């Protein structure tokens, strides 16, 4: 400091009279007239002398005014200086202190730092340093530290640390600054870690864990984290729950792969704001949906759904970064519409349209592939046109040449379907011309009608392959001729078998008819006859066995006979006789049951009666007897029903027996083994 400071500079009421003020007061309070004044003036003075009391009053009034002004000036503080216009290198210590106090009165950190800096520039040996300056610096430093603490509580930790570190080291408050900063950082880290973990749990959709962490913020020793950030986190949790539902709905809508579904999904994703923890995921899914829309639009073009494809492409968000791809596909759509006409002119127009894509376009490579494909298609259309023109000449050679030309078209070509249809028609015409004479010769050979003629006709017709145009017709005629041959060969065998059957030689008939194989024309007829003969033979054998069993005349034998008779096939000639015998043996079995009941053997009686079949006339009486026997109530002897009852007479139900106990009209047939 180059300036000197003294105590007089701090006296706010110090005043000095100027020379002009001293000149303004006449000595003695009376102005003395000069000697050279005129006599008129002397008379005037004499007049004043005569009114001296008035003069004295005037003098005392003036002196009182001056004194009052001086006393007021002594006790009045000087007006605040304009500190912004002061040249500080030459400013006095009192002026610095006065401006510093003015700054400090504002109470903000910047003003307090300015106040400290302003007076801290005074030298250590300055008279005001120990008693006034250092004390003021300590006060302002404490205020600054309080402001830093307040900033920390309000969430401005950087500002709080910055202000705290501006405190001069000479101030007593500076000793606690670093400890205070360490404490602030620890508290701040605690709150930030809790908040960060809660956001992470929200991204993981673990809302319960996030809520638990939000409650932990209430215990953080900082008003900013325990109130403001706690409120922010609870709002974030609530928003995350809603956004998670919105995101799920959007993804579900997008899965439909329709324009409506995609549009709905994009609209729902727009509802997720930047404040949401799902914002980045929503933006990512939005990009994915836009890419899927691009693929679907491209597929719709491939499926020739131009209107739907363009609607899909136009719905892709402008900010999805796919503007160039969408523009390229619009060119593709126009080119496709030309190419689908499948004429040389339309394909050339499609190529011209596609050539608008520059090398720097994203779909340039695919466009070049389509151009090459359409150029190849133009060549293929030319081949098909050339083949048609050759086929119009009509000869077999020309048709074969047309087929050869058309076969040059690749199977993967869009023209192959039409080309293959033309080839089929032309080949059919060629084959018909080549094979018709063969089929006609075979028909002429078969006209002889003999097996040898028919075999020769078949041999000739077999020259026509089944894969050729006349193959089905030739195969049908061959089958007809083969049937005629087989019938002529097998009919004598079938006639012989039938004769044997008519003579009663069923086994011989079956053996002869079985010589007709499955692949022969008369096989089904022979098989039908064999089945019928076997049924008759089986029926006779079983009826014979039943008659033998019934001859033993016991209840069990009658039951066995009835069972065997029931096994006679329905198509057997013995079926009618078997039914009559079943009816007769049922009555016999019922009488046997009654004999057991009369001997009080009700169990055997019930068992025998239960074996009477339901189609027998004795069935209903048997059921009545069974119920009575089960109650152990004896009943009267059963007699044959009369002609007035439901059952037939003995003549119908029990035919007369011969001397061996067999029905007189039943022929007993011995089994083959006897």
pLDDT at 265: 93
Interatomic CA distance for residues 233 and 231, integer angstroms: 5
Is residue 565 located within the same domain as residue 623?
Answer: yes
As to burial, measured by CB atoms within 10 angstroms (0-12 exposed, 13-18 middle, 19+ buried), residue 96 is: buried
Interatomic CA distance for residues 552 and 556, integer angstroms: 9
Is residue 516 located within the same domain as residue 536?
Answer: no
Interatomic CA distance for residues 581 and 661, integer angstroms: 13
Which of 352, 350, 353, 408 lies closest to 379 in space, CA to CA? 408
Is residue 549 located within the same domain as residue 647?
Answer: yes
Q: Is residue 259 part of a domain?
A: no
Is residue 509 located within the same domain as residue 458?
Answer: yes
Interatomic CA distance for residues 489 and 452, integer angstroms: 12
Q: Is residue 322 part of a domain?
A: no
Q: Can you read off the two tokens belonging to residue 414?
A: 């869009």
Residues 6+ positions from 457 with CB-CB distance below 8 Å = 442, 443, 445, 446, 477, 481
Q: Is the pLDDT of residue 296 over 60?
A: yes
Band the pLDDT of 659: cuts 50, 70, 90. Answer: very low
Give Cα 269 to chain centroid, integer Å: 16
Is residue 109 located within the same domain as residue 15?
Answer: no
Residue 230: what are its φ and ψ, rounded to 5°?
-60, -45
Q: Is the pLDDT of residue 656 over 60?
A: no
At which of 469, 500, 520 does a domain end?
A: 520
Question: What digits encode the pLDDT tens for the residues 401-450?
Answer: 999 999 998 888 888 888 999 999 998 889 888 888 998 999 998 888 88
Strand partners, 663: 657
Q: Is residue 178 part of a domain?
A: no
Question: What digits encode the pLDDT tens for the residues 14-61?
Answer: 323 333 333 333 333 333 334 444 444 444 445 545 665 666 676 767
Interatomic CA distance for residues 157 and 618, integer angstroms: 115
Interatomic CA distance for residues 145 and 669, integer angstroms: 135
Question: What digits encode the pLDDT tens for the residues 486-530?
Answer: 888 888 888 888 888 888 788 888 888 888 887 888 888 888 888
Is residue 540 located within the same domain as residue 516?
Answer: no
Q: Is residue 612 part of a domain?
A: yes
Buried b (16+ CB within 10 A) or exposed e, 465-494: eeebbbeeebeebbeebbebbbeeebeebb
Q: Is residue 214 part of a domain?
A: no
Is residue 542 located within the same domain as residue 630?
Answer: yes
Is residue 479 located within the same domain as residue 541?
Answer: no
Instruction: Give the Cβ contact number of residue 256 at 10 Å.
Output: 12
Tally of CA atoms within 13 A in the half-sphere of 369 that contains its CB:
4
Is residue 42 located within the same domain as residue 101?
Answer: no
Interatomic CA distance for residues 317 and 337, integer angstroms: 25
Is residue 430 located within the same domain as residue 484?
Answer: yes
Which of 83, 89, 92 lies closest to 115 in space, CA to CA? 83
Is residue 645 located within the same domain as residue 542?
Answer: yes
Minimum mean pLDDT among 17-26, 297-306, 337-346, 421-430: which range? 17-26
Q: Is residue 580 part of a domain?
A: yes
Interatomic CA distance for residues 459 and 469, integer angstroms: 18
pLDDT at 96: 64
**Average pLDDT, integer, range 354-379:** 89
Could you give the residue ranges of the DSSP H alpha helices within 303-343?
Answer: 306-314, 323-339
Residue 123: what are its φ and ψ, rounded to 5°?
-65, 155
The whole-model pTM stands at: 0.44
Is residue 49 located within the same domain as residue 107?
Answer: no
Q: Is the pLDDT of residue 665 over 50?
A: no
Could you give the residue ranges of the DSSP H alpha helices within 204-229?
Answer: 207-216, 223
At which of 465, 495, 520 does a domain end?
A: 520
Could you give the residue ranges of the DSSP H alpha helices within 447-519?
Answer: 451-461, 471-502, 506-513
Angle between helix 523-550 and 555-566 (nearest 10): 170
Q: Is residue 11 part of a domain?
A: yes
At which of 115, 138, 170 does a domain end?
A: 170
pLDDT at 17: 32
Domain that holds residue 465: 415-520
pLDDT at 204: 85
Interatomic CA distance for residues 268 and 86, integer angstroms: 64
Q: Is residue 340 part of a domain?
A: no
Question: What digits encode the pLDDT tens for the residues 185-216?
Answer: 999 999 999 999 998 988 888 888 988 988 98
Q: Is the pLDDT of residue 125 over 60?
A: no
Task: Tally the domains of the chain.
Answer: 4
Q: Is the pLDDT of residue 181 over 50?
A: yes
Q: How much of the chain exceeds pLDDT 70, in percent?
A: 73
Interatomic CA distance for residues 624 and 631, integer angstroms: 11
Interatomic CA distance for residues 89 and 92, integer angstroms: 9
């Amino acid at each position: 400091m180059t300036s000197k400071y003294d105590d007089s500079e701090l006296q706010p009421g110090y005043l000095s009279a100027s020379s002009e003020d001293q000149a303004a007061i006449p000595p003695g309070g009376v102005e003395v007239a000069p000697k050279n004044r005129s006599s008129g003036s002397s008379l005037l003075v004499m007049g004043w002398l005569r009114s001296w009391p008035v003069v004295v009053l005037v003098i005392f009034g003036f002196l009182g005014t001056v004194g009052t002004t001086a006393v007021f000036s002594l006790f009045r503080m000087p007006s605040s200086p304009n500190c912004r216009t002061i040249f500080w290198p030459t400013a006095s210590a009192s002026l610095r202190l006065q401006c510093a106090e003015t700054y400090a009165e504002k109470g903000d950190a910047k003003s307090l730092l300015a106040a400290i800096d302003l007076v801290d520039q005074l030298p250590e040996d300055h008279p005001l340093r120990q008693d006034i300056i250092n004390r003021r610096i300590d006060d302002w430093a404490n205020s600054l530290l309080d402001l830093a603490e307040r900033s920390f509580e309000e969430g401005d930790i950087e500002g709080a640390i910055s202000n705290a570190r501006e405190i001069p080291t000479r101030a007593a408050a500076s000793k606690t600054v670093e400890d205070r900063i360490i404490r602030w950082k620890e508290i701040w880290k605690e709150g930030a870690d809790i908040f960060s973990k809660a956001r992470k749990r929200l991204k993981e959709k673990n809302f319960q864990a996030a809520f638990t962490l939000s409650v932990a913020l209430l215990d953080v020793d900082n008003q900013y984290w325990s109130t403001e950030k706690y409120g922010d986190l609870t709002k974030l949790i609530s928003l995350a729950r809603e956004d998670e539902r919105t995101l799920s709905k959007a993804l579900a809508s997008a899965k439909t792969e329709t324009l409506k579904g995609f549009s709905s999904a994009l609209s729902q994703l727009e509802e997720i704001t930047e404040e949401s923890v799902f914002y980045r995921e929503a933006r990512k899914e939005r990009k994915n949906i836009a890419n899927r829309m691009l693929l679907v639009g491209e597929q719709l073009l491939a499926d020739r759904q131009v209107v739907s494809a363009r609607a899909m492409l136009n719905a892709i968000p402008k900010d999805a970064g796919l503007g160039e791809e969408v523009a390229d596909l619009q060119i593709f759509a126009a080119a496709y519409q030309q190419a689908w006409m499948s004429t040389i002119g339309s394909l050339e127009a499609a190529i011209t349209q596609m050539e608008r894509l520059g090398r720097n376009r994203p779909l340039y490579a695919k466009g070049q592939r389509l151009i090459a494909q359409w150029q190849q298609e133009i060549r293929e259309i030319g081949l098909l046109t050339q083949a048609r023109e050759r086929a119009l000449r009509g000869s077999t050679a020309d048709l074969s040449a047309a087929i050869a030309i058309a076969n040059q078209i690749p199977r993967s070509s869009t023209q192959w379907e039409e080309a293959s249809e033309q080839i089929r028609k032309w080949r059919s015409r060629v084959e018909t011309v080549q094979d018709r004479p063969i089929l006609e010769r075979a028909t002429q050979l078969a006209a002889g009608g003999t097996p040898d003629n028919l075999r020769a006709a078949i041999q000739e017709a077999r020259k026509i392959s089944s894969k050729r145009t006349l193959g089905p017709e030739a195969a049908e005629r061959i089958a007809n001729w083969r049937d005629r041959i087989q019938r002529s060969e097998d009919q004598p065998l079938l006639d012989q078998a039938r004769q044997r059957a008519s003579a009663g030689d069923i086994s011989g008939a079956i053996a002869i008819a079985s010589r007709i194989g499955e692949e022969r024309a008369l096989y089904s007829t022979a098989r039908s006859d064999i089945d019928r003969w076997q049924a008759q033979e089986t029926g006779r054998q079983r009826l014979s066995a039943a008659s033998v069993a019934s001859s033993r005349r016991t209840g069990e034998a009658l039951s066995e006979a009835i069972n065997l008779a029931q096994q006679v096939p329905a198509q057997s000639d013995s079926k009618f006789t078997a039914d009559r015998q079943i009816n007769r043996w049922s009555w016999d079995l019922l009488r046997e049951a009654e004999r057991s009941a009369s001997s009080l053997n009700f169990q055997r009686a019930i068992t025998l009666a239960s074996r009477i079949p339901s189609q027998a006339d004795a069935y209903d009486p048997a059921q009545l007897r069974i119920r009575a026997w089960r109650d152990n109530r004896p009943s009267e002897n059963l007699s044959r029903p009369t002609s007035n009852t439901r059952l037939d007479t003995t003549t119908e139900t029990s035919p007369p027996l011969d001397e061996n106990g067999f029905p007189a009209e039943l022929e007993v047939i011995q089994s083959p083994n006897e």
